[in-house]
Structure 1
Amino acid sequence: MRLHRMTLTAFGPFGGTQEVDFDALSEAGLFLLHGPTGAGKTSVLDAVCYALYGSVPGARQSAGATLRSDHAAAGARTEVVLELTVGGRHLEIGRQPPWERPKKRGTGTTMEKAQSWLREYDARAGGWKDLSRSHQEIGEEVGQLLSMSKEQFCQVVLLPQGDFARFLRADAEARGKLLGRLFDTRRFAAVEQHLAEQRRGAEAQVKAADASLLALAQRMGQAAGRTCELPLPELAAGEPGLAEGVLTWAACARSAAREVLAVTRAAQDAAQLARAGAQQRLESVRETHRLQRRHAEAHARAGRLAERAEEHRADQERMERARKAESVAPALSLRAAASAEQQRTAAAESRARQLLPETFAGAEAAALAAAARKAHEELGSLAAARRAEQRLGELSRERAELEREERADEEALQDASAWLADWDAVRHDHQARIDAAQEAAARAGQLEGRIGPAREQLDAARRRDALTASVAEAELEALDAARHAGDAREHWLNLKEQRLLTIAAELAAQLTDGAPCAVCGSVEHPAPARKSEGHVDRQAEEAALAAYQRADQARTQAESALASVRAALDAVTATAGDATAGELASGLGDLERTYDEVRALASTLHAAREAFARDEQEYERRVTARQEAGTRAASRTSRRESLAREQAALQEELDRARGHAATVADRARQLERQAELLTDAAEASRAAQEAAERLKEADGRLAEAAYRAGFETPQAAAAAALDEAAHRTLQHRLDSWQQEDLAVRAVLAEPDTQAAAELPPADLATAEQAAERAEQTLRHTLSVRSAAEDRCKELDRLSRQAAAEARQLAPLREEYERVARLATLAAGTSADNERKMRLESYVLAARLEQVAAAASMRLQRMSAGRYTLVHSDDRAGRGARSGLGLHVIDAWTGRERDTATLSGGETFFASLALALGLADVVTDEAGGVRLDTLFIDEGFGSLDDQTLDEVLDVLDSLRERDRSVGIVSHVADLRRRIHAQLEVVKGRAGSVVRQRGVQA
């Protein structure tokens, strides 16, 4: 990761906008960040952390609003923009915390939400490409690229004030917490927890299996009941003989249950025989009782039939009279229909006559029809009057239209006169606009010839700037490709050498018994070489060679691309000249704006000419309209007089035609209604006369039909007739009586029924009681046998289940003992774990040993070979964490002592060496992310001149890995030793940054 530049606005102590050029500072390899106390040196580092992770380190992190500078203007937005390269990608990250800004309308402030953005520089397009504006997506992307959390970044890149001195002197518990955060050993703590959970789970399974086996024993005891005289053994979970005791008792209980089952089967057979005899006797008594009851019921039914004999004869006579009346039924129906028709027509005639005037009250049908014809004739004579009335309406509308036309012409004359009065001024304005547009068109042609060359020069300048950055990137890519090709070649040669060293094993793999060796020719192979772990075969060597060839080809392509970019840069520089892109863009912008303004004015020429032509046409149209309006006014006067004469004549004709009615239409409707009522009354009168004649004829036919059927009067025949429902009811009673008589006679004639009636009455209750007692005895024996069978089945099932669970219990106990040993070992409570170290502590101890080894390489140089850091895994007392001790070996005394005995200066460079070593180890742990920029915050004031020189030499050696180290310090001597400086100057209006000793 390499920082390029950072821009701060209204952040921390910086009230305005400040820019830090890390590229210029990093050219020296070592640069100094200094300034008075409280100026904002640490705020620069906070801004780097905030841009990457959206928060600042440690205790300085609080609400987002506190990041805003108190010196900032009210409308200035708090913002941090960081440009960096990480993972081979050139990125720009911007962060804006939430802040209160003045309202755009009204007074007061409103809260502006936090914003973030991530952009990547696209070398091909020569510009920035937006990637995301989501806080979460940007956080995930930065975390994946850096492979470090914020805490790891602050410990590895931003080496904080005093943290590593405290780490150097801390106890094992505090040291373990820090290492756990940096190396993320939560997975090992999770393993400890997982083993503990497995142990608890296995223990619970064993206890559950014991409890289940004891529950089965209790259930077998309940199932056996009193059949087993052997008492249930008193057993508890965990006893060695639990399974054997339960299985032995189960065998005895099953034997006793089978004996009880044999006894119940014999009792059931005897009960079944007794029940069969009782059922047979019960069936015989029931049959005799049924026949005796059948004979008694038949005698009772015969008595009821005798009581209804008179009623039956009356029904037969009523049915005979109804059959005679059926011949008179058609005449009765015809007379009823004629009577209904006569009543209906008489009522209709009465309603029609009520609607007529009194003059037609006693008129016959012929007179009514004649009056209706006369009304129709008068209605026809009103047709001419209707046409006259319609024409009169048209004349009124024509006179109204003349009035409307007269008003419209008056308005048109006024409008035309007003418009024509302003014509001279309008014509002058049109001519002025046309002259101005013609002049602008001539000037636009001149400006257009100057814009093209200016654009070409600006494009060349922009390509020059983009290609300048591309040359630098191409140089870096060429160097990376060359380094990668060298690494690939070295890897291929190493694999080739390893293969040659173990080629004997590869040849031995091809040997076959009885076949001669390709090397020595022997057919015996007593001790062929074996492939060891890590053996390199032909495929691995060829893959490495192919990788080297691809890397070398990539190097050639990168060098060719670099040459192409440089040639393109020279070409565009010749076209662009010395002017900057900003100056050229400003000049082109002014030229284009002037051209756009002139061209916009020239483009109005055609529209101005068309508007002038339209207004000239309007002038001609207004003059013509004024003349035509005067002509129409003269012709309207004669037309109005003609319409008045015609209207008076038509009005006189209408007055004669409509009589007393308001209109001709009303008179026509009166005549139509009168003709309709007279016609309806005439038709109703004729229908009533015809219906009366048909009723008289129907009465004669009915009297003759009744006499022929044997009835004295028609009324007697109507009374004897039956409707369909009454006929069905009477016939049903006759049929039922006859069927009942036949059935009673048949029952009394049966031989079995007569024989049973001569026997004594049957005792059914006694026979049923005997059969019920036999059935109850059988059910009881069946219940006893079923219970015995169920007991045997349940004991068999529970015994099989107990045997299966006893077989499963043994492997569960073995699994529990194995998991318990692993869990206690990982937790540090096992007797086999001599130092009582937990698994997480063991891993952290290994990491601390790596850190101590990496730190000692620099500590020996800083201390002139005197001190060496070593890791101690001595067991701690009183339950403290073991294996995380850190001691220092003093070469002058040859003794190992605690780091707390170091002096202030010795503590600083020892903690600095420890921080740098930890940075290397954490970097490797994070996946080998390259960290090209580091910051060290304070502590150099405690060093003497010689030690300071040695410490600076160690820091300066970091440039061998192409690293840039920034030192944050108040020490004045460092300003003389380190030329590249970033100074933070504080003032009443806020702090500002100044870069010294670097090229602008």
Structure 2
Amino acid sequence: MRLHSLEVTAFGPYRDHQVVDFDQLGTDGLFLLHGDTGAGKTTLLDAIAFALYGAVPGARNDAKRLRCDTAADEVNTSVVLELTIQGQRLRLERSPEYQRPKKRGEGFTTQQAKASLTWVGGAPTAQPPEGLTRIDEVGRTVQRLLGMSVEQFFQVVMLPQGEFAKFLRADTGEREKLLERLFGTERFGEVESWFVERRRERRRALEAQSQQVHELNARISQVSGVEQTSEVGDENWLEDIEKQALRDLESTRVEHTRLRRERDQAQKALDESRALAEKVRRVRQANTTLAEIDAQRAEHDQWRAERAAASRAVPVISARRTADRAEQDRDRAQAEVTTWASRCEVDPAAPLDDLRARAGAEREQAGALAQLIPESQQQESDQRALAELAAKTAADEKREAELVEQRDGLPERITEARRRVEEAKHAELRLDTVRTRGTEVAALLTTAREIPGAQRELESAKSRAQQAVDAHQQARDRLQELRSRRLAGMAAELAARLSDGDPCPVCGSAEHPSPGQPVDDQVRAEDEDAAQQAEQRAQAERERLTTAAQQAEQQVANLRDRLGEHDESELAEELAQLREEKNRLSETAAAIAGREAELGKLESATDELAEQISALRSRIAASGSERAALTKAIEEREARLRDGRGDFDTIADRRAHLLDVADKVERLIAARTARDDAEQRLTEARSGLAEAATAADFANVDEALAAERDERRITELDESLAEVDRRAAGAREALASADLFGVDPETDAGWERASEAATTAGEAAERAAALAHRSEQRHTELAGLAERLRASWAQLGPAMAEHAELEALADVVNGRGQNARKMSLRAYVLAARLEEVAVAATRRLQRMSDGRYSFVHTDAAGARGTRGGLGLDVLDDYSGKVRPAKTLSGGESFLASLSLALGLADVVAAETGGALLDTLFIDEGFGTLDADTLDLVMDTLDELRAGGRVVGLVSHVEEMRQRIAVRLRVRKSRQGSTLELSTS
């Protein structure tokens, strides 16, 4: 991967469009990103990471604040990166999600994130030539080309020295988290989890099998009544239980057979006794029935006579009913005659010819009136039309007066509408001015409210800077004091290293007659180095805090310059007034369209009202002419209709009255005819009734009617007589049957004794059957349980052995049990990777430390049995001893961290199998090195760029910029470049 150019706009501290040409910077393989704190050095690295992955390293990604706060609203935030990956040149452009002011109205709207990938020089095979525009597709393509995740990229390409210093001194747990992130060992963790889950499943299955064996033992013990065994596979215990169950089954079966035979014999004797008793009972019952029938013979004869008389009276009853109906018909006809005579107001006995003549006269007169009904209906229609015309004319006259009034008031309304339109236009013009002033006042008010906090921050920064100056001065004085004291005791320090026979490093003599003696409180080289490091840290802290105090002071000055002579309370009051005025003007300006429409409507209303008034007046005149003609026609027609109505309201009423009178007379005629017919039928029915009584052999009609019986009584008589005949026939048939022949009704059958004996024998047989059934159930259940128990015993043994083996293996995989090093599978893999990293990092650390230090990887278990495998110490070649990395000085820690970062980058790049990484960034850390050590580090970096790689260094320390620049100038054939950064 080689970077060519980077463009950022409104990104981080960069408000305007900025371009970084990496091709020019990396011409000689080495360049420096330099600038003050906050100048945007790290932001450029963030921009590269954001263009590639849409994310930035560390906590800055969680903040989601990538847009420049001071950028103009119309400027979009974007990052454009052009680079080459695996020989393919491409251009990446991304924009983050951020909040921007709405183009219309107030408030903010979300600007959605965007991403695009454009192929420079032609798209590769299977890729769209127009490029990619979906965020997920761009991300997947970049990750596939680079061959590493975003976390690996941050550790491999952008080497964060602080992070690797933490990694160098971290404990096993923290180191494990970083290595997992880089090498993707989640699959080995999944293997560990698989073993744990498999062991848990097998343990549950084993517990279930053990519980099943225990339950079967308990069930067998419960069924058999024998105490259960605690041993798995106790076959003797189980066989004894099965044999006892079989013996119990056979004995109960023998007893059940004997008692069942006795029960059958008792039941047979009971059946014979029951049959004899039943025959005696039937003989006695038949004799009793015949005696009762003979005693009631007189009553039965009376029932038969009553039934015969009722049958002979049926024709007489029928004739009587016919006569009754004829009489009722005659009475109804007479009532009809009386009713209609009353309604006609005539004598009921009047001659029929006179009645017929009257009905004809009434209908003839009604027919003559039918010709006047159409004229009567037309008269009513014309009268309604005349009333409607009058109402319509009154409404038109009222509407005419309203329109005239509206026309007279139009000039004044048009003037008011024009004034309202001008008012809305003026509000629209004034609104822009008020909005602009409101924005200015709001910004000034925000500035006024920021000043107190900025002032407090300034005072705090000055206090911290002064404390840092004092601390630096004290550290410098301490360093000078120690250097003076060490120089005073340097001879004794050199003498301490002399040995007899070894040459002196100063004069070369092998004899040492008078070595220097140690002075009191002698200063060692380690003391001086520690003091020097403390002085450098104090100086760096002093510079940092002094710069922060200057920035805070500049911030306060800028805020006061922006505020000018304004006061916070005045600005707040003015802002409130401006907001109120803006709301009022906005409301007025928004009504301009409605007010202009209203004005146009009023201006066009004059002609419309004139036309409406003219039309109304024409319609009123036409209605007057039509009313006059209609009134004349009504008056002429009324004279003819008055004679036809007579005393009635309308001609239709009079005609209906005449037709009603004719109808009533005709109904009276029909009623008198029906009455005469009914009287004739009544005479004939009474004659037929007398003839029927004589034919039925009755003395008269009354005697025949007295013999009448209803259906219920006849049914009772028939059923009673039939029951008497059936009982007598049944009794005689029973006595004559072969079953009862020769049976003495006084015989004793002994049924009660036989029943008691059969009951006793049956109960004994049932008890024996129940015992036999229970014995059989117990034998069957024990046989099934025994079979299941033997099967469970057969499965439990191998399951226990399998679980023991799986449990031991799971413990080993997870760093427990027989795993002496307490290393899990995942830690073992990470330890192998860390060993590779230690080997790769040692090559660079030995070069940068002039062969003094080497990394040593250890896989020993930690203290108190904690997991091991990820230990990382340092071998000091001067002393020949291995010591913890935490004991390294500041500069030594930097060298170790840088070596570790470079080594880890090489191993990760080889592990991922991704693209060749031609560009590398190293962020900070060089300020702790002396000149000689810096030369060694630069030699190592020269090795990195010897194969065509580009290395970018990041620093904000001015002294470091000068020292690295001198170093680059000395290497004339490899002269580097410097990029000065500033966002001011």
Q: TM-score range by the shorter chain?
A: 0.5 to 0.7
- Give the secondary-structure state (helix, strand or coil) at the position aligned to 1:878: helix
> Are residues 1:649 and 2:636 paired?
yes
Q: Distance in 1 between matches of 2:334 and 2:137?
A: 100
Shift of 1:815: 1.2
Instruction: Compute the TM-score of the two structures, normalised by the length of structure 2.
Output: 0.66
1:343-742 → structure 2 map (5 Å cutoff): 343-349=331-337, 352=340, 356=343, 358=345, 367-392=354-379, 645-742=632-729
Partner of residue 168, structure 2: 168
Shift of 1:248: 1.3
Q: Distance in 2 between matches of 1:63 and 1:691?
A: 117
> Are residues 1:311 and 2:311 paired?
no
State the identity as a percent.
36
Give the residue type in structure 2 aligned to 1:731.
Answer: D
Give the residue type in structure 1 aligned to 2:864.
Answer: R
Q: Distance in 1 between matches of 2:861 and 2:746?
A: 115
Which deviates more, 766-775 or 112-121?
112-121
Shift of 1:274: 1.6
Partner of residue 230, structure 2: 235
> Are residues 1:799 and 2:786 paired?
yes
Give the residue type in structure 1 aligned to 2:113.
Answer: S
Q: Distance in 2 between matches of 1:863 and 1:633?
A: 120
Partner of residue 816, structure 2: 829
- Give the secondary-structure state (helix, strand or coil) at the position aligned to 1:936: strand
Give the residue type in structure 2 aligned to 1:711.
Answer: F
Q: Distance in 2 between matches of 1:5 and 1:798?
A: 81
Aligned CA distance change for structure 1 residues 886 and 701 (closer, same or farther; 3 Å): same
Give the residue type in structure 2 aligned to 1:175.
Answer: R
Aligned CA distance change for structure 1 residues 333 and 928 (closer, same or farther; 3 Å): farther
- Match for 1:331 among 301, 311, 319? 319
Q: Distance in 1 between matches of 2:80 and 2:350?
A: 119
Shift of 1:841: 1.3
Q: Distance in 1 between matches of 2:334 and 2:693?
A: 28
> Are residues 1:971 and 2:957 paired?
yes
Aligned CA distance change for structure 1 residues 819 and 701 (closer, same or farther; 3 Å): same
Figure out how many residues of one structure are paired with residues of the other and give that number.
Answer: 756
Aligned CA distance change for structure 1 residues 318 and 863 (closer, same or farther; 3 Å): same
Partner of residue 96, structure 1: 97
Give the residue type in structure 2 aligned to 1:116.
Answer: A
Give the residue type in structure 1 aligned to 2:977.
Answer: H
CA contact (8 A) 2:176 2:830 kept: yes
CA contact (8 A) 1:26 1:964 kept: no
Q: Distance in 1 between matches of 2:348 and 2:811?
A: 129
CA contact (8 A) 2:259 2:768 kept: yes
Partner of residue 253, structure 2: 265
> Are residues 1:838 and 2:824 paired?
yes
Q: Distance in 1 between matches of 2:198 and 2:255?
A: 58
Which deviates more, 273-282 or 872-881?
872-881
Partner of residue 916, structure 1: 902
Aligned CA distance change for structure 1 residues 316 and 32 (closer, same or farther; 3 Å): farther
Q: Distance in 1 between matches of 2:835 and 2:387?
A: 116
Partner of residue 431, structure 2: none
Q: Distance in 2 between matches of 1:676 and 1:139?
A: 106
Q: Distance in 1 between matches of 2:654 and 2:394?
A: 38
Shift of 1:319: 1.6
CA contact (8 A) 1:850 1:921 kept: yes
Aligned CA distance change for structure 1 residues 701 and 5 (closer, same or farther; 3 Å): farther
- Give the secondary-structure state (helix, strand or coil) at the position aligned to 1:836: coil
Aligned CA distance change for structure 1 residues 647 and 277 (closer, same or farther; 3 Å): closer
Q: Distance in 2 between matches of 1:400 and 1:738?
A: 96
Q: Distance in 1 between matches of 2:704 and 2:80?
A: 124
C-alpha distance after superposition, 1:372-410 (max 9, x if no partner): 43333223223332232344456668879999899999x
C-alpha distance after superposition, 1:739-792 (max 9, x if no partner): 111112222334543644345322322111111221222223323333333333
Aligned CA distance change for structure 1 residues 59 and 651 (closer, same or farther; 3 Å): same
Q: Distance in 2 between matches of 1:20 and 1:379?
A: 118
- Match for 1:289 among 257, 274, 277? 277
CA contact (8 A) 1:2 1:84 kept: no
Q: Distance in 1 between matches of 2:201 and 2:623?
A: 116
Aligned CA distance change for structure 1 residues 302 and 139 (closer, same or farther; 3 Å): farther
C-alpha distance after superposition, 1:688-724 (max 9, x if no partner): 4433332232222222222222234434434434455
Partner of residue 116, structure 1: 113
Shift of 1:870: 4.3
Aligned CA distance change for structure 1 residues 24 and 686 (closer, same or farther; 3 Å): farther
Q: Distance in 1 between matches of 2:54 and 2:843?
A: 35
Q: Distance in 2 between matches of 1:147 and 1:365?
A: 129
Partner of residue 790, structure 1: 777
C-alpha distance after superposition, 1:849-896 (max 9, x if no partner): 222234345445545666544433234332233121223456677765
Aligned CA distance change for structure 1 residues 660 and 820 (closer, same or farther; 3 Å): same
Aligned CA distance change for structure 1 residues 363 and 914 (closer, same or farther; 3 Å): farther
Give the residue type in structure 2 aligned to 1:95.
Answer: P
- Give the secondary-structure state (helix, strand or coil) at the position aligned to 1:753: coil
CA contact (8 A) 1:172 1:880 kept: no
C-alpha distance after superposition, 1:505-539 (max 9, x if no partner): xxxxxxxxxxxxxxxxxxxxxxxxxxxxxxxxxxx
- Match for 1:780 among 755, 763, 767? 767
CA contact (8 A) 1:93 1:118 kept: yes
Shift of 1:678: 4.1
- Give the secondary-structure state (helix, strand or coil) at the position aligned to 1:710: coil
Partner of residue 473, structure 1: none
CA contact (8 A) 1:365 1:681 kept: no
Partner of residue 820, structure 1: 807
Q: Distance in 2 between matches of 1:138 and 1:711?
A: 126
Shift of 1:812: 1.7
Partner of residue 985, structure 1: 983
Indicate the RMSD between aligned Cα atoms, in angstroms: 4.8
Shift of 1:902: 3.7
CA contact (8 A) 1:46 1:56 kept: yes
- Match for 1:255 among 243, 246, 249? 243
Give the residue type in structure 2 aligned to 1:942.
Answer: T
Aligned CA distance change for structure 1 residues 834 and 758 (closer, same or farther; 3 Å): closer
Shift of 1:251: 1.9
Aligned CA distance change for structure 1 residues 643 and 174 (closer, same or farther; 3 Å): closer
Shift of 1:654: 1.7
CA contact (8 A) 1:247 1:799 kept: no
Aligned CA distance change for structure 1 residues 274 and 167 (closer, same or farther; 3 Å): same
> Are residues 1:178 and 2:175 paired?
no
CA contact (8 A) 1:399 1:640 kept: yes
- Match for 2:263 among 275, 282, 307? 275
1:48-59 → structure 2 map (5 Å cutoff): 57-59=57-59
Partner of residue 131, structure 1: 134
Partner of residue 577, structure 2: none
CA contact (8 A) 2:815 2:824 kept: yes
Partner of residue 447, structure 1: none
CA contact (8 A) 2:115 2:134 kept: yes
Aligned CA distance change for structure 1 residues 52 and 659 (closer, same or farther; 3 Å): farther
Q: Distance in 1 between matches of 2:338 and 2:143?
A: 108
Shift of 1:76: 7.8
CA contact (8 A) 1:940 1:971 kept: no
CA contact (8 A) 1:345 1:691 kept: yes
Q: Distance in 2 between matches of 1:805 and 1:707?
A: 107
